[in-house]
Amino acid sequence: QKHLLGIEGLTVEDITGLLDLAEEFVILNRQIEKKRTTLRGRTQINLFFEVSTRTQSSFELAGKRLGADVMNMSASSSSMRKGETLMDTAVTLNAMHPDLIVVRHHASGAVALLARKVDCSVINAGDGAHEHPTQALLDALTIRRNKGRIEGLTVAICGDVLHSRVARSNIILLGAMGARVRVVAPSTLLPPGIERMGVEVARDMREGLNGADIVMMLRLQRERMNGSYVPSVSEYFHYFGLDEKKLSYAKPDALVMHPGPMNRGVEIDSIVADGAHSLIREQVEMGVAVRMAVLEALSRNLPNA
């Protein structure tokens, strides 16, 4: 494939191939010498219209470890602040002959639109509430390394499913890989018709976490709740915040995940976030390996490769 715009459209073989390749980069990244030359001479632009810590920094590290020249651009420092459109920005950057553009944008579908305007490969680093494919891939890698498989596991995705591109990408990926996926949220934070994505739906944590192998918590995305109901933090934490008591509803060996950034005391208690069941730091490590795998896989289809 030329682009990675979403998990939708990837086959099980595509996903497994990327995870297997990422395993090699996990080993490389734990060595002193971490550099490869796959992207030597190539230019990677990271174009972020929304803030990011994990995704932007790991794409930068991933590109540099593969030998690319990496340029970071944010909306706040670009001419979009002077009224330039996304499409004009894309055409402008395209004229500089990049080989890869990594894009995060607040509008669903914006990354796919941009991909149609440029000649190079485009990677979706999160578009609105649509998809965040590399997050789902790094989550899958983390699960597979800790549970030895994905197929047959029960994964509870809990919290603000309505506004979450992470939930959407994970639902598609985990379902394709044979996991049983359950979303757990108040009705106000569930997209209408979510059942059609092949998930079970629970509206309280006791029911939702029952028998879960993986408990994946989502951030309460208050910045996306313009005009809609915003739950009070204390009420939300009481009913849906993951603490030790609620985690005890899941299997005894259940593992806890969170894509970050975490809101401690809102969707997750610090005792659980930093506890023995938590995979949250490992998810960050897997993020660099998965993004190296995606860059390497796409580099095979670059012109003159």
Residues lying near ligand CP in the complex (CB under 6 A) are found at 52-55, 126, 135, 259-261
CB of 165 to ligand CP, least distance (A): 9
Report the alpha-carbon distance of residue 190 to residue 84 in Å, rounded.
Answer: 34
Find out whether 123 and 134 touch, Cβ atoms under 8 Å: yes
Identify which of 294, 16, 298, 305 has the alpha carbon closest to the alpha carbon of residue 135. 294
CB of 299 to ligand CP, least distance (A): 22
Nearer to ligand CP, 55 or 299 (CB): 55
Report the alpha-carbon distance of residue 282 to residue 146 in Å, rounded.
Answer: 10
Report the alpha-carbon distance of residue 123 to residue 194 in Å, rounded.
Answer: 26
Nearer to ligand CP, 46 or 154 (CB): 46
Nearer to ligand CP, 18 or 102 (CB): 102
Sequence ranges of the binding site for carbamoyl phosphate? 54-55, 104, 132, 135, 260-261
Report the alpha-carbon distance of residue 257 to residue 216 in Å, rounded.
Answer: 5
Q: Token match 């309505």: residue?
A: 162
Measured N-to-C along each axis, helices 133-147 and 165-176 cross at an angle, to the nearest 10 degrees, of 50
For 123, phi and psi rounded to 5 degrees? -120, 130
CB of 100 to ligand CP, least distance (A): 17
Stretch (H or E) spanning 181: strand 180-184
CB of 284 to ligand CP, least distance (A): 9
CB of 258 to ligand CP, least distance (A): 9
Sequence ranges of the binding site for L-aspartate? 82, 165, 219
CB of 162 to ligand CP, least distance (A): 17
Q: Give the other-Cβ count within 10 Å of 232's Cβ.
A: 8
Identify which of 263, 267, 291, 261 has the alpha carbon closest to the alpha carbon of residue 51. 261
Nearer to ligand CP, 36 or 54 (CB): 54
Nearer to ligand CP, 9 or 261 (CB): 261
Report the alpha-carbon distance of residue 242 to residue 248 in Å, rounded.
Answer: 10
Sequence ranges of the binding site? 54-55, 82, 104, 132, 135, 165, 219, 260-261
